[in-house]
Amino acid sequence: MKIGILGSGALGSAVGGSLALAGNDVELWDINEAHIKAVNDNGLKFDAFDGDHVIPLFACRPEEGHAQDLIILMTKTCDSDAALKSARSHIEAGAMVMSAQNGLGNEVRLAAHVPQEQLLYGCTMMPARFLDYGHVASQAVGRIVFGAKNEVALQKAAQFAQTSAHFTLEFAPDRADTVIWQKAAFNCGMNAVNALTGGRVKSMADSQDARDLVQAVASEVVAVARAGGVKAEYQPVFDHLANSMAKHGEHKASMLQDIEGRRPTEIDSLCAEVARQGEDLGVPTPLNKTLATLVTLKSDVLNGDYL
């Protein structure tokens, strides 16, 4: 299968590398010229759970890519519009487009650029780190759970399902919304709190008050999802949080990495979106609203708006 990874930072490159190891023909599409050059000159260096790999891949800007069967959108949500505009020729040529991003409402953002019969949506389960240009790491088997809402897209979607030792593309239209909301619940708690504390995950794991706070934030998200008709469950989110704290103590959440790099965060599609939907549904979300305000303010201050 020919797959273009649209947005090949840490996670996008790790997903692309994993899918290439599974036998797919993968291209990495990005706008980071240094990363593109490093991959083309030396291959993608991918430190995976089963050892270190050097994978020969072609990397380029999206408009320079070749025709693909599937485009997987891996950018930050705030970069979705620009990324999809850069891939317009591939979309017009008929490629299926799958959002596998963090956050909520990604299928709505895609719909402004992608015909419904070509639109898939889901989310990614895979930690990743950017070590250097052309060099990423992930110590877990990755997975994207995806579905579609359009009947034509649903009929096309099943062909993209695959399972390998390195990565799974799981077609599960009956569970996609549940998985997306449960992942958002995890990210709202873990990422937002970690972005504000500035420590590694173990800093939260070592504090009962912090663990209680993260779980309470996640609980608000699940409550909003359920009020909106999504069959989200509390316990899988709590288990995911506990597992992350137990096994990934040295990790820095992606939102903290964005804060440290003075890049835009995804807080608007996470805690802020939960607060907006909670207000519409009559579900209180004081913790998510507070975190959205604080992370936004911290990002603005660091980027010079109030210095």
pLDDT at 248: 75
Write down the architecture of domain 177-302 according to CATH.
Orthogonal Bundle (1.10)
pLDDT at 283: 98
CA distances from 76 to 42, 49, 83, 100 (A): 26, 25, 10, 10
Mean pLDDT of 105-128: 93
Confidence category of residue 14, pLDDT binned at 50, 70, 90: very high
Which residues, in sequence order, are CB contacts of 190 under 8 Å at separation 6+?
Answer: 201, 204, 214, 241, 244, 253
What is the overall mean pLDDT for the chain? 94
Question: At residue 71, what are phi and psi to the nearest 5 degrees?
Answer: -110, 125
H/E stretch holding 25: strand 25-29
pLDDT at 27: 98
pLDDT at 306: 56
Lowest mean pLDDT among 236-240, 251-255, 272-276: 251-255
Specify the higher pLDDT residue, 6 or 249.
6
Question: CA 285: distance to chain centroid?
Answer: 23
Superfamily in which the 2-174 domain is placed by CATH: NAD(P)-binding Rossmann-like Domain (3.40.50.720)
Rg (CA), the chain: 19
Q: Could you give the 3-state DSSP secondary structure of residue 200?
A: coil
pLDDT at 127: 85
Confidence category of residue 217, pLDDT binned at 50, 70, 90: very high
Lowest mean pLDDT among 14-18, 87-91, 287-291, 298-302: 298-302
pLDDT at 267: 95
Lowest mean pLDDT among 65-79, 160-174, 196-210, 278-292: 196-210
Mean pLDDT of 232-237: 96
Q: Is the pLDDT of residue 307 over 70?
A: no
pLDDT at 305: 60
pLDDT at 60: 98
**Cβ pair 196, 188 in contact under 8 A:** no
pLDDT at 121: 96
This prediction has a pTM of 0.90
For residue 42, the cross-strand partners are: none
Confidence category of residue 140, pLDDT binned at 50, 70, 90: confident
Domain ranges for the chain, please list them: 2-174, 177-302
**Cβ pair 185, 222 in contact under 8 A:** yes
Q: What percent of the chain has pLDDT over 70?
A: 99
